[in-house]
Structure 1
Amino acid sequence: MDRSTEFTFGIAWIMSFFHQDWTLDASTEAEAVADQFVEELEPDAVLLVRRDARLLLDGLPSDWITVLWEGCAEGGEYFFRRGRVTDGAEWMRQVIGVCDAWLSRRPDTTTLLGADRYEGRELADEVLSAVEEFRGVLDREVADALAECVRHTPDLAFRLLLRALPMKSASLSPESLYLSEEQYARLAALGKAFHYGEYVVSDIKYLVDTIS
């Protein structure tokens, strides 16, 4: 049972669109997502984004969604200050709208199959343990929001944790957040249990402290 991609996916994937220069290429947040949804994109990629956005809308209050976006996207602390998007729930609705517009142009689009439908409910305790392990380094609200997310969708919560750790490390510059090899091994084992592709967890391997 394999995922349809070797790389990160869903909401965690579109977070990567919002680098520090994204406003040079798009005039709105929704346009920044739509521009990456090229016609050649596999439908599964868009379906996974839509599923994640729906899970967040159905499972978490808007303020928790806002906290998760702010803590897991580059420059997320400024995302809702531009006035075009008021909160996390509105943003997820906009994302769903972009997904639906793209999917409407693909009459061959079906539904998610196999591993792409797997949410890892039985792994909730392990994901919650991973969140709690890093509670001391993450912002309190981010850790709380991740813990709440685990209760509704462990798979998405884990992928967001994998985003939150490097974002927190970058915010500490010139210091950094480092992972021990044991911590990384636990995250990698969870990624394997979720049937993730090769690069979903390994994207943060650079945080491993190999000196101490």
Structure 2
Amino acid sequence: MVSFFHQDWRLNANSEAEAVAGQFVEELKPEAVLLVRRDARMLHERLSAERITTLWSGCVENGERFFLNSRLTDGAEWVRQVIEVCDAWLLRHPHAATLSEADRYEGRELDGRVRNTITEFADWFDRDMVQALAECVDRCTPDLAFRLLLQALPTASVAASPHYRDLSREQYARLASLGREFRYGEYVVSDVEHLAHA
């Protein structure tokens, strides 16, 4: 969901909800929409509006302006809109769809490793973002918190311009190892590989 919002998303949509709806093409597999809905619902039900706002702002390109330049008041209102977009798409595509075992895997036994990884990158973020990620581990799932961290790292690197932040090869290897533990596909962790330098 975070990746839908590159810096030029407003060229293709009149609202944030429309930008999400634009990604939900007719031929999309229902499982993809179910995954977005699951994550949005988990955030909405388990984290405060302030924490959701912090996470979203820290993960989206130009996220510090996301709520300033919109009609949205906070992260809770935003994820409610995402859930509504998902529900509307699923109503139009009433196929029997369920999430696979891999998609349902929460990684509870990896919570300590995810917390340690967040701590390792704490100097990339402000205190509120670190706390929001840690709370996501505890109140949502380690899987969701780790995926949000992976989205936030490139955003934090760009925000440090002109002194972009880099990953060491060792740091990237640890992220990739954790991604394998979560049974992620090929591109989930490799999306941050461009930050890794020898």
Give the TM-score band, short-chain normalised: over 0.9
Matched, 1:17 2:4: yes
TM-score, structure 2 length as denominator? 0.97
Find the counterpart in structure 2 of residue 179 from structure 1: 167
What secondary structure sits across from 2:87 in the alignment? helix
Question: Which protein is richer in helix relative to its size?
Answer: 2
For residues 96 and 191 of structure 2, the distance between their equivalents in structure 1, rounded to whole angstroms, comes to 29
RMSD of equivalent CA atoms = 0.9
TM-score by length of 1: 0.90
Structure 2 partner of 1:170: 158
Describe the shift of the 1:34–1:131 C-alpha distance in structure 2 as closer, same or farther (beyond 3 A): same
- Structure scoring higher RCO (CA < 8 A, sep ≥ 6) equals 1
Show CA shifts across 1:65-111 (max 9, x none): 00000000011111111241110011010000000000001121322
Q: Name 1:4's counterpart in structure 2.
A: none
**CA distance in 2 between partners of 1:84 and 1:77 (Å):** 15
Match of residue 45 from structure 1: 32
Q: Could you give the per-residue CA deviations for residues 18-47 of structure 1, whole angstroms, max 9, x where no partner exists?
A: 111111111110000001100011111100
What runs of 5+ residues in structure 1 fail to find an aligned partner? 1-13
Closer/same/farther in 2, CA of residues 108 and 140 from structure 1, 3 Å limit: same
Q: Which residue of 1 aligns with 2:98?
A: 111
Give the aligned residue type for 1:196.
Y
Does structure 2 conserve the Cα–Cα contact (< 8 Å) formed by 1:166 and 1:207?
A: yes
Identity %: 62
Deviation, 1:185, is 0.9
Give the equivalent residue in structure 1 for 2:79: 92
Gaps of 5+ in 2: none
Contact 1:179 1:209 in 2 (8 A): yes
Match of 1:36 among 23, 26, 43: 23
Provide the rounded CA distance (Å) in 2 between the counterparts of 1:130 and 1:165.
12
**Which letter does structure 2 place at the counterpart of 1:158?**
F
Matched, 1:147 2:131: no
| Aligned length in residues | 197
Query: Letter of the aligned partner of 2:184 in structure 1?
Result: Y
Q: Give the SS at the match of 1:112.
A: coil
Deviating above 4 A after TM superposition, structure 1's stretches of 4 or more consecutive aligned residues are none
Aligned to 2:89: 102
The whole-number CA distance in structure 2 between the counterparts of 1:41 and 1:107 is: 13
